[in-house]
Structure 1
Amino acid sequence: MLGVVASLWGVVMALAPVLQIHRMIKKRSSADVSLGYFGLLLPGFALWIAYGWTRSDWPLVVPNILAFTVSTVTLTIGLVLRKRDRVKDS
């Protein structure tokens, strides 16, 4: 039961960066978002996915796949917006 509850909360945590995505798109800027933070999280998510996969621990794998995906999207949008801002400022 604890594994299921922890996994469900892991899904909620994995979706939390969607709030940052929404803010970046709304403001058309990623200036107030730490992209390095998301860059540091990605290898950690990948390691937890690999670990969970080797143990067939799906309550560990599923939230981390979701977190990896959402963080990748967040990082990608942030980088695109920053590149656009640099081109616009040039």
Structure 2
Amino acid sequence: MHTLVGWHVEMEFQEEGDRTRAAAMVRLSDGTEFRAHGTANRHPSDPDQLRVGEEIAGARALMDLASQLLQKAHTEIDEVSGRTSHPIR
């Protein structure tokens, strides 16, 4: 038997001069929500490429979400197993 599960992910970006900020949110199938942020700063001598700033800031926000998801999973493993699990970093 296969079970289809989905997560809802949202990403928003804000540009302010040479800085791009990303806000990410994931909603899991159990209703849990995690939020994270990431930033990217363009060097003044670099060309103005908004997409690149979004990619970097977005990737950093998603990396933070990934870390939070790993922590949640390991906490749940620990609660069920009665031992301490160790996330790979």
TM bin, normalised by shorter chain, reads 0.3 to 0.5
TM-score normalised per structure 2: 0.39
Greater RCO (Cα-Cα under 8 Å, separation 6 or more): 1
TM-score if structure 1 supplies the norm length? Answer: 0.38
Which structure features the higher share of strand residues? 2
Larger radius of gyration: 2
Specify which structure has the higher proportion of helix: 1
